[in-house]
């Protein structure tokens, strides 16, 4: 699959199979993040990879999932992520305006994962204090976000956005994600 088709097929996944993601694959994802663009090339990001079941269980309650359809959108018992990558900012390298660095790094990981058939959910609604305690993250770091990972146990569907951006589940439990039409957001040479 070429990159464009990969981008078109990617959806956020919140229900995962219980199959582990190999540690060398997780390392490749972090390497893809490491090579993302960084403002002034300061590279303030560092990452904690969590693949141990005991630590995953501690992290799970620190994350808020699909706000529009909670708790229905939360991973069901037995379909939780099998790995997490916690994105941290070294505040001694960059105190603010690191969000673009984090976004580029996470998108690289999301696409590199999807190419391998691994689904992901990028989570910004995180109990950062609790996550920092669990992972023993030093005070000079701030948790930016968490990337939940695993092989998909669902197949979300994209559809044209009509009245609302809110995603929803149908009677069979399939997630539907409204997206704006290209013609509604693209402008050439002027607005």
Read off the pLDDT of residues 125-135 as tens digits, 9 standing for 90 and up.
999 999 999 99
Clarify whether residues 29 and 115 are in a common domain: yes
Q: Which residue has the tokens 């229900």?
A: 15
Q: Output the pLDDT for position 71.
A: 83
The pLDDT assigned to 86 comes to 98
Cis omega (within 30 of 0) for bond into 107: no
Which residues span the domain enclosing 190? 156-191
Average pLDDT over residues 99-104: 97
Same domain? For 99 and 57 the reply is yes
Same domain, 54 and 140: yes
Same domain, 92 and 165: no
Question: Residue 169 — very low, low, confident or very high, per pLDDT cuts 50/70/90?
Answer: confident
Domain count of the fold of the chain: 2
CATH number of domain containing 178: 2.20.180
Query: In this model, does residue 67 exceed pLDDT 90?
Result: no
Q: Do residues 93 and 162 share a domain? A: no
- CATH number, domain of 13, equals 3.40.109.10
Model confidence pTM above 0.85:
yes
């Amino acid at each position: 699959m070429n990159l464009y088709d990969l981008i078109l097929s990617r959806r956020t996944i919140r229900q995962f199979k219980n199959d582990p993601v190999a540690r060398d694959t997780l390392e490749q994802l972090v390497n893809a993040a490491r090579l993302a663009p960084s403002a002034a090339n300061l590279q303030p990001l560092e990452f904690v990879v969590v693949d141990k079941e005991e630590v995953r269980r501690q992290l799970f309650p620190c994350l808020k999932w699909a706000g529009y359809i909670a708790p229905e959108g939360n991973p069901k018992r037995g379909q939780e992520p099998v790995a997490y990558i916690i994105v941290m900012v070294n505040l001694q390298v960059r105190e603010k305006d690191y969000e673009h660095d984090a976004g580029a790094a996470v998108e690289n990981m999301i696409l590199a994962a999807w190419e391998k058939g691994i689904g992901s959910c990028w989570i910004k609604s995180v109990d950062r204090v609790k996550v920092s305690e669990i992972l023993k993250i030093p005070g000079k770091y701030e948790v930016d976000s968490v990337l939940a990972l695993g092989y998909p146990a669902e197949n979300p569907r994209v559809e044209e956005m009509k009245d609302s951006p809110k995603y929803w589940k149908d009677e069979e439990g399939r997630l539907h994600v409204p997206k704006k039409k290209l013609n509604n957001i693209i402008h050439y040479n002027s607005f």
